[in-house]
Amino acid sequence: MATRCWTPECTEDELLVAMIAVKRAFQSQDMWADPGTFPVMHLLAAHGPSRQAPLAEALGLDASTVSRHVRALVEQGWVSASRDPHDGRATVLSITEQGSAHLTERLRTQRATLQAATAHLSEQERTELVRLLRKLAAALAAQKENA
């Protein structure tokens, strides 16, 4: 008896399959040894130094996951960990100059990848894609907060 392959049954199934395909394709570019480190570096670069707990909360990740990412980033020299001057028991994480340069270079590479991948879209379509992805991300974040 032949096994039936799964097929999307609704738009949401198709969206999930498409999002997974985009994630896989983007990760196959091998831009980050550990893709989970990008959000940590980006948040530190965008918002400045942070303790690990607020960083984990902002990223929607558990502390152990963030700790693993931070450890790898510190080993690479891209993030520094220093004692909090207000509470010596706590550690403050900051992106280093080397980390900032690395992040900038990776963002340039990713920008070029996305420009090439979206070259067939009009400016209006790219703008609409960004708008819809932001709307989806906000709705998913709101669902998580209300759960």
pLDDT digits (tens, 9 = 90+) for 77-90: 999 999 888 877 88
**What value does the mean pLDDT take over residues 16-44?**
80
Query: Regarding predicted confidence, which is higher, 36 or 119?
Result: 119
Domains of the chain, CATH where assigned: 29-117 (1.10.10.10)
Calculate the average pLDDT of the chain.
87
Give residue for tokens 């998580």. 144
Residue 1 has pLDDT above 80, yes or no: no
Q: Which two tokens stand for residue 75?
A: 């080993």
Q: What is the pLDDT of residue 2?
A: 61
**What value does the mean pLDDT take over residues 12-16?**
90
Strand residues in 4-71 grouped as ranges (E): 50-51
Find out whether 53 and 10 touch, Cβ atoms under 8 Å: no
Task: Give the separation between CA 99 and CA 105, rounded to whole angstroms.
Answer: 10
The single-letter DSSP state of residue 95 is E
Query: Regarding predicted confidence, which is higher, 43 or 87?
Result: 43
Task: Give the separation between CA 3 and CA 25, rounded to whole angstroms.
Answer: 27
